[in-house]
């Protein structure tokens, strides 16, 4: 089966379901599927080398931008971690809207004859595409602007390396059950990538989680009073007691217990959590997430590449991180 642009299966907490460039068949791609089918191999034959893509036609390349080279560079930046994936840019056509181009890419895997297709619309700014109802970054280095924003604005509690050459930012909500489930994955990443600079950014989804903002505010105060180590102790305790984040009274008990386990004074933290400064700190994290088009938790930003981790296979996630380590260059 051909997988999505990011090879993800998503099961997030979020205000909307984020679909990252699924490979969906349109009437055009269904025709191409028929062209690329090949007869079944004899029983003793070796596995096929991969799909045979149909010949491209000059009449399918009518748009001035983006160029095929630019699309190839974008796909390499997005898919380069997957050495089994093969693809061919099949169409870059003008649309009825000036500056917007329709792009179709045929996709397959080594050793398999089946093909799928990715279709997206490249926007006139040259920096974004629309696919499956989502606006995504585009270009030779599609994640560079996100990376720059995170280097400047991701100011949450940190652990790991001081260098930001590999910066991994987690956007999470203390009341999100999938964020709790993702914590072993985060721990494994930090163990496998000791050179990673890890940042936690609270992204409370206040429209669906009544206690999320308060939990984030307490966390901001624990970090302010006790530092990053105290914050991560607090975070672990909140996730352990997440079932208690229900009513106001139950949440008070849960959060105070987590504060105490982090070695901080619950009364001081509660007073701090109600200040305008703390509210502004939490809101800054929310604004950062929204500016980067993060709309579900848990999500990771790997040198600016936003990945809703949900149920992603860890080996794939590891491959992606390794690819960015090898190709992104140092932080500026």
Average pLDDT over the chain, rounded to whole?
88
CA separation for the pair 70, 240 (Å, rounded): 46
Pairing of strands 13-14, 296-297: antiparallel
pLDDT tens digits for range 150-180: 999 999 999 999 999 999 999 999 999 999 9
**Same structural domain, 300 and 168:** yes
What phi and psi values does residue 121 have, to the nearest 5 degrees? -110, 120
Q: Per residue in 19-77, pLDDT tens?
A: 333 332 232 333 333 333 333 334 444 555 779 999 999 999 999 999 999 999 999 99
Please write the tens of the pLDDT for every residue from 1-14. Answer: 333 343 333 346 76
Does residue 232 carry a pLDDT above 60?
Answer: yes
Amino acid 49: pLDDT = 72
Q: Give the range of the structural domain holding residue 23, as residue numbers without chain letter.
A: 13-142
pLDDT at 46: 55
Spatial contact of 245 and 251, defined as CB atoms under 8 Å apart: yes
What radius of gyration do the chain's Cα atoms show?
Answer: 23
The 3-state DSSP class for residue 37 equals: coil
* Domain stop point among 82, 112, 142: 142
- Could you tell me if residue 1 is inside a domain? no
- The CA distance from 51 to 38, in Å, is 8
Residue 4 resides in a domain: no
Q: What is the pLDDT of residues 245-286, one digit of tens each?
A: 999 999 999 999 999 999 999 999 999 999 999 999 999 999
Same domain, 65 and 104: yes
Q: Residues 99, 127: one domain?
A: yes
Q: Are residues 111 and 196 in the same domain?
A: no
Same domain, yes or no: 132 and 164:
no
Residue for token pair 């700190």: 281
Q: Judge whether 202 and 175 are in contact, CB under 8 Å.
A: no
Structure tokens at 237: 């305790």
For residue 77, the number of C-alpha atoms closer than 13 Å in the C-beta half-sphere is 19
pLDDT of residue 13: 79
- Portion of the chain with pLDDT greater than 70, in percent: 86
CB 189 within 8 A of CB 315: no
Residue 209 scores a pLDDT above 60: yes
Digit-coded pLDDT (tens) for 38-50: 333 344 445 557 7
Give how many domains the chain has, as a whole number. 2
Task: Report if residue 150 sits inside a domain.
Answer: yes
In a domain, residue 172? The reply is yes
Q: pTM of the prediction?
A: 0.85
Of 214, 182, 211, whose CA–CA distance to 198 is shortest?
182
Report the CATH number at residue 247: 3.40.30.10
The answer to the question of residue 6 being in a domain is no
């Amino acid at each position: 089966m051909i997988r999505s642009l990011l090879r993800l299966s998503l099961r997030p907490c979020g205000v909307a379901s984020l679909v990252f460039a699924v490979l969906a068949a349109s009437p055009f791609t269904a025709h191409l599927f028929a062209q690329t089918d090949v007869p079944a191999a004899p029983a003793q034959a070796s596995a096929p080398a991969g799909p045979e893509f149909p010949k491209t036609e000059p009449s399918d390349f009518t748009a001035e931008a983006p160029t095929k080279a630019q699309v190839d560079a974008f796909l390499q930046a997005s898919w380069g971690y997957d050495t089994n994936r093969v693809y061919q840019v099949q169409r870059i056509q003008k649309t009825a809207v000036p500056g917007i181009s329709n792009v179709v890419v045929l996709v397959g895997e080594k050793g398999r004859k089946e093909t799928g297709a990715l279709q997206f619309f490249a926007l006139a700014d040259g920096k974004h595409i629309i696919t499956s109802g989502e606006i995504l970054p585009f270009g030779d280095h599609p994640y560079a602007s996100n990376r720059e924003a995170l280097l400047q604005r991701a100011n949450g509690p940190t652990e790991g390396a001081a260098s930001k050459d590999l910066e991994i930012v987690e956007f999470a909500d203390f009341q999100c059950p999938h964020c709790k489930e993702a914590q072993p994955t985060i721990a494994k990443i930090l163990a496998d990538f000791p050179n990673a600079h890890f940042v936690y950014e609270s992204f409370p989804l206040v429209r669906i989680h009544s206690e999320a903002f308060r939990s984030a505010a307490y966390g901001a105060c624990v970090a302010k009073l006790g530092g990053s180590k105290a914050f991560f102790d607090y975070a672990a305790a909140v996730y352990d007691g997440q079932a208690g984040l229900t009513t106001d009274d139950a949440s008070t008990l849960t959060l105070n217990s987590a504060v105490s386990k982090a070695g901080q004074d619950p009364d001081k933290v509660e007073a701090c959590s109600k200040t305008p400064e703390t509210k502004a700190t939490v809101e800054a994290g929310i604004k950062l997430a929204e500016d980067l088009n993060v709309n579900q938790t848990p999500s990771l930003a790997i040198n600016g590449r936003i990945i809703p981790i949900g149920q992603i296979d860890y080996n794939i996630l590891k491959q992606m991180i390794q690819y960015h380590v090898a190709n992104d260059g140092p932080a500026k």
